[in-house]
Amino acid sequence: MHESLSFTIASKILHGFLTYRELFNTYTRLTPAYFRQRNWQAIQVNHRQRLRLYKDLLFPLAKNCIEILNEKNSDREIWKRIKVEYSELITERTDLELAETFFNSVIRKTFPGLSVDEELMFVMESYNSCKIQNNEHLFHSYPASMGLNRIIRQILEDYDFGAPFMNKEQDVKFLVETVKKVILSRYKIAPETTTQILKSVFYRNKAAYLIGRTYLGHKWMPFVIPMMHGVEGVFVDTLIFDPNLMSGMFSFTRSYFMVEAEIPSEIVSFLSSVIPQKKIHEIYNAIGFNKHGKTIFYRDFLHHLDQSKDEFIIAPGIKGMVMTVFTLPSFNIVIKLIKDHFEPPKEMTRLEVRGKYKLVSLHDRVGRMADTHEFEYFRIPKNRINPDLLKELRNTANSLLEFTDTHLIIKHLYTERKMIPLNIFLETCTTEHGLSVSEDYGRAILQLGKANIFPGDMMTKNFGVTRQKRVIFYDYDEIEFLTDMNFRAKPKAETYEQIYAPEPWYLIAKNDVFPEDFKRWMIGRSDLKDHFLAYHTELFDPKHWQEIQEKIRKGELIHAFPYPEEIRFRPGQII
């Protein structure tokens, strides 16, 4: 009886996984057509549908498994057998790692209160199994013997976007000149020199990216060619060799790419060779397999725990009113728990805060909002928890804590990339770095606005600074859609009573925003403030925010370039 039941459940889980993969690929394959049509709204809708797909399939499947198992849904012996049956069913699959993660998701939603369990789940089975392979069917190859001009022309022929080029001859000229200036001025072409570009095109927002590498100077040199489809046709926007810019394109602050990946691990392997500074879990995230990225991240976390001895501590910075945040100093993440009670003036509920995080997970993060992983029943060894942190957790989020003899189990949390809080960075940085980062702080707020996100609480303590000195927003409990806000100029006081009134004498609605007030608290350092106010005058102008709102309401997708405007071949070119 148990064998029949276990096989039934294993088969159902596999069927759910196959449905997920089929629909995931269907959504992904729609993107080139939308790019060809310049249907940017459809691209956004399609992206959100693919993001929702995993959970849309997971919850009904878990409910069905519970119904079939009846009261046996927490029977360990049955689940051991289900895992064995499922392992046999997927053993020959080329996406084995994704299938294992899908199984883990199902059991976590079916078996009540289950923490990570090596007997019942695939915990470390595929750890470090993603090897770099030389799979020539993945890419187009261009030997140096073809000559630079012919290689560039052939690349533009091989990637047909189904629409005419705006000016192909000018694109060829731009690319040839850039290669000569940046690469051939430093390296000499050798007989073994060759160029490879992935056949799969990476789509995001209004752009299509070609990802490649050239073997030159006894090493592989990666590059990216961003393609745009403007009102006058398709064109090459720039050519990128800078590894920091390339890494930023696959950043934890950006939306996932829409890219066809028949065997995802092969794409991941190629990308790992192109941008080796990116961890494997980050690359899986970047190509849309964020659930498996979460699995690999957790395996990295377990591996790091085994290799380290430091304690989890309260995260540096000003304590938040909504979240309790802690970290392991030797590991590059912070862990965030929603508090049991919020201090005034916060009036939201825990469910509302979770809703804000879900909103961010489904929204275009435009390189300015940190991606998070959500975990339930997350285990931490008790002997690694600093006493001050344990006290803080008990005082602020006690309802989320469970204890065993050896572990603290946290019922719900978010993990996020560790950054230096902007307020702490500005306290100690040089004037030069402060000017640059404060400029980027303003840009971050404006770019979020163009993506229809109003951060709400824009204090510097709610932003972080990355290793590349890029400013990222990470406190989501007060975010709103920009189009829901009412940007106003402050009414001018005209009477004595109005001038000296202790409280505002005019009515203020909950969604009213007075941009001129931003000047008072955004940047406090005297050597930075005047420059910041002069550099970002539009931040304090209600009309500027209203103009952004109008564009969004008309359905315009305002593209966020993941590289500086000045490196575009045609700066200011309308897309």
The neighbour count for residue 551, using CB atoms within 10 Å, is: 13
Q: CA angle, corner 173, sides to 168 and 177, nearest 5?
A: 150
Strand order in the sheet with 413-417: 313-314, 323-327, 333-338, 413-417, 372-375
Q: How many residues in the chain?
A: 575
What would you report as the CA-atom Rg of the chain, rounded to the nearest whole angstrom?
A: 26
User: What is the sign of the dihedral through the CA atoms of 526, 530, 532 and 537?
Assistant: positive
Q: CA angle, corner 171, sides to 166 and 173, nearest 5?
A: 140
Burial annotation 492-527 (CB, 10 A radius, 16+ → b, else e): eeeeeeeeeeeeeeeeeeeeebbbeebeeebbeeee
SS3 call for 333: strand
Give the residue numbers marked as catalytic. Answer: 371
Q: CA angle, corner 123, sides to 122 and 129, nearest 5?
A: 90
User: What is the sign of the dihedral through the CA atoms of 184, 186, 192 and 198?
Assistant: negative
C-alpha closest to that of 385 among 407, 405, 417, 418: 407
SS3 call for 477: coil
